[in-house]
Copies of this chain bind each other. A is one copy, B any other.
Amino acid sequence: MNNKDHAYYLKLAVEESLKSVESGSSPFGAVIVKDGEVIATDHNRVVPNNDPTAHAEVMCIRSACQKLQTFDLSGCVLYTSCEPCPMCLNAIKWANIREIWYSSDRHDADHIGFRDNTFYESDPVQLNRIVLSESNEVMKKWFDSKNKKPY
């Protein structure tokens, strides 16, 4: 695909972000395309769904996976109105999507009060560890099972 094609799909993602605002949700939209076909289009649904993980990219990945009946979106391209936050970037990695196109960035998001840039740069979370031997035993149990599905 050339940049004109990419701009076309990116524009669809931006149109979806407008739909999001018009429905009272946050201004983020995403589109997933495979072999030139739009597989899924969705927008941020954090507030209406009471789901802090319901960012546009995550919603769109879930929707594309339902449509294709797989948890592996290899070969898909993701278009998003704004640069993915680190949660979404890593959701994209788990989904095996390798190509992303975006328009606004983390600093634009920062200007309207979203914490994407903060989360990229700092870690407000306190991580504590207690090693229980059972947790690795369970992991080994999975590893030794015959019908495990790695991803």
Contacts and interface: CB of A to CB of B under 8 A. Distances in A.
Contact of A112 (B96, B132, B142): B142
B139 A109 contact: yes
B101 A151 contact: no
A31 interface: no
Contact of A132 (B27, B103, B111): B103
Interface in A102-126: 102-105, 108-109, 111-115, 119, 123-126
Copies assembled: 2
Among A10, A52, A113, max chain B CB count under 10 A is at: A52
A26 interface: yes
B50 A69 contact: yes
A48 to B, nearest CB: 10
Given A103-B136, A108-B136, 18 more contacts: A10-B132, A11-B132, A14-B135, A21-B142, A24-B147, A52-B72, A52-B96, A53-B61, A86-B86, A90-B119, A92-B125, A93-B119, A93-B124, A94-B115, A99-B125, A103-B132, A104-B135, A112-B142
